[in-house]
Amino acid sequence: MSEKEIIDLEEQFQARIDRGENIEPKDWMPEKYRKTHIRQISQHAHSEIVGMLPEGNWITRTPSLRRKVALLAKVQDEAGHGLYLYSATETLGISRDELFEQLHSGKAKYSSIFNYPVITWADIGAIGWLVDGAAIMNQVMLTRTSYGPYARAMVRICKEESFHQRQGYEIMLTLAQGTKVQKEMAQDALNRWWWPSLMMFGPTDEASTHTEQSMKWKIKRKTNDELRQQFVNQTVPQAEFLGLTIPDKDLKWNEERGQYDFGEIDWDEFWRVVKGHGPCNKERLHARKSAYEKGKWVRDAAVAYADKKAKQTLKEAV
pLDDT, residue 112, reads: 92
**Of residues 95, 267, 296, 283, the one with CA closest to residue 198:** 267
**Structure confidence by residue, pLDDT tens digits, 148-186:** 999 999 999 999 999 999 999 999 999 999 999 999 999
Side-chain-facing half-sphere of 278: CA atoms under 13 Å: 23
Cβ contacts of residue 156 below 8 Å, gap of 6+?
84
- Report the residue count for the chain: 318
pLDDT, residue 83, reads: 95
- Helix segments in 19-64, DSSP class H: 31-50, 52-56
pLDDT, residue 318, reads: 73
pLDDT, residue 215, reads: 86
CA dist 199 and 134 (Å) reads 10
pLDDT, residue 11, reads: 93
Instruction: For the chain of 318 residues, list the mean pLDDT of each consecutive stretch of 10.
Output: 85 94 95 94 96 94 96 96 96 96 93 95 97 92 93 93 95 97 98 97 83 85 92 97 97 96 96 93 94 93 94 86
Angle at 242 between CA 236 and CA 244, to 5 degrees: 70
**Of residues 160, 98, 93, 87, the one with CA closest to residue 128:** 160
- Helix segments in the chain, DSSP class H: 3-18, 31-50, 52-56, 65-90, 96-105, 121-126, 132-140, 148-176, 180-199, 211-216, 224-242, 267-272, 281-294, 296-317
pLDDT, residue 3, reads: 84
